[in-house]
């Protein structure tokens, strides 16, 4: 990114050290463990970008329409829908190492 950009870069990610703080960690901790292994630490991202980074937490609105896991805190019943789980790669990665099936 440093090679092709001339100004600031914004990266939207999750801090793997704080994934347990979200509501869904209580309901499906195994899936959260899969997610933790996938996200690089904030320090790793910062170091890769040259070390000068500002981290700004962004709250997830209750009516957010995206289908990432943490956005479903106001409608957790959505996880009963196979299509919702299939749209989130962490479920597939979790199921590959589990006896559970869709």
Confidence of residue 100 (pLDDT cuts 50, 70, 90): low
Give ∠ CA 6-16-33 in degrees, rounded to 5: 140
Residue 46 covered by a domain: yes
Is residue 70 assigned to a domain?
yes
* Cβ atoms 68, 88 nearer than 8 A: yes
Residue 31 lies in a domain: yes
Specify the number of domains making up the chain: 1
Distance CA 27, CA 30 (A): 9
Q: What DSSP designation does 88 have?
A: S
pLDDT for residue 77? 92
Q: Is the pLDDT of residue 5 over 60?
A: yes
- Domain presence at residue 30: yes
67 in Cβ contact with 27 (< 8 Å): no
Residue 5 lies in a domain: no
Task: Return d(Cα 79, Cα 77) in angstroms, integer.
Answer: 5
In a domain, residue 86? The reply is yes
pLDDT digits (tens, 9 = 90+) for 19-61: 999 988 988 898 899 999 999 999 999 998 886 889 999 999 9
Taking the whole predicted model, whether its pTM rises above 0.75 is answered as no
Q: Is residue 101 included in any domain, yes or no?
A: no
Place 68 in a pLDDT band, splitting at 50, 70 and 90. Answer: confident
Domain presence at residue 9: no
Instruction: Give the mean model confidence (pLDDT) for residues 72-97.
Output: 86
User: Range of 20's domain?
Assistant: 16-96
């Amino acid at each position: 990114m440093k090679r092709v950009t001339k100004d600031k870069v914004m990266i939207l990610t999750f801090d793997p050290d704080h994934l347990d703080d979200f509501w869904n960690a209580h309901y499906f901790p195994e899936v959260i463990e899969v997610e933790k292994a996938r996200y690089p630490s904030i320090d790793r991202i910062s170091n890769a970008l040259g070390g000068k980074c500002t981290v700004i937490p962004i709250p997830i609105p209750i009516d957010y329409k995206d289908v990432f896991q943490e956005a479903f805190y106001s409608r957790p019943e959505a996880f009963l829908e196979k299509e919702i789980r299939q749209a989130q790669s962490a479920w597939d990665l979790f199921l590959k190492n589990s006896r559970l099936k869709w």
